[in-house]
Amino acid sequence: MTGIEKILAHIKSQSDAECGEIRRASDEECERIRSEYANAERDDYRKLINEGTQNADRRLERLNSLAVLESKKQVLATQQEMVSAAFEHAAKKLLELPDNVYSAFLARYACTASMTGTEAIVLSARDRGRVGGDVLQAANSALRSKGKTASLTLSDRTADIRGGLILSGGDIEVNCSIDALVAEYRNELSPAVASVLFD
Q: Per residue in 124-177, pLDDT tens? A: 999 999 999 999 999 999 999 999 999 999 999 999 999 999 999 988 999 999
Q: What is the mean pLDDT of residues 108-122?
A: 93
- What residues contact 119, with CB distance under 8 A and at least 6 apart? 152, 153, 167, 168, 169, 174
Going by pLDDT thresholds of 50, 70 and 90, the confidence category of residue 196 is low
Burial (0-12, 13-18, 19+ Cβ within 10 Å), 186: middle
CA distance 61 to 49: 18
Q: pTM of the full predicted structure? A: 0.62
- CATH code linked to domain 98-198: 3.30.2320.30
Residue 196, CB half-sphere, CA atoms under 13 Å: how many? Answer: 8
Between CA 132 and CA 74 the distance in angstroms is: 44
Q: Using 50, 70 and 90 to split pLDDT, how confident is the model at 14?
A: confident
Percent of the chain predicted with pLDDT > 70: 91
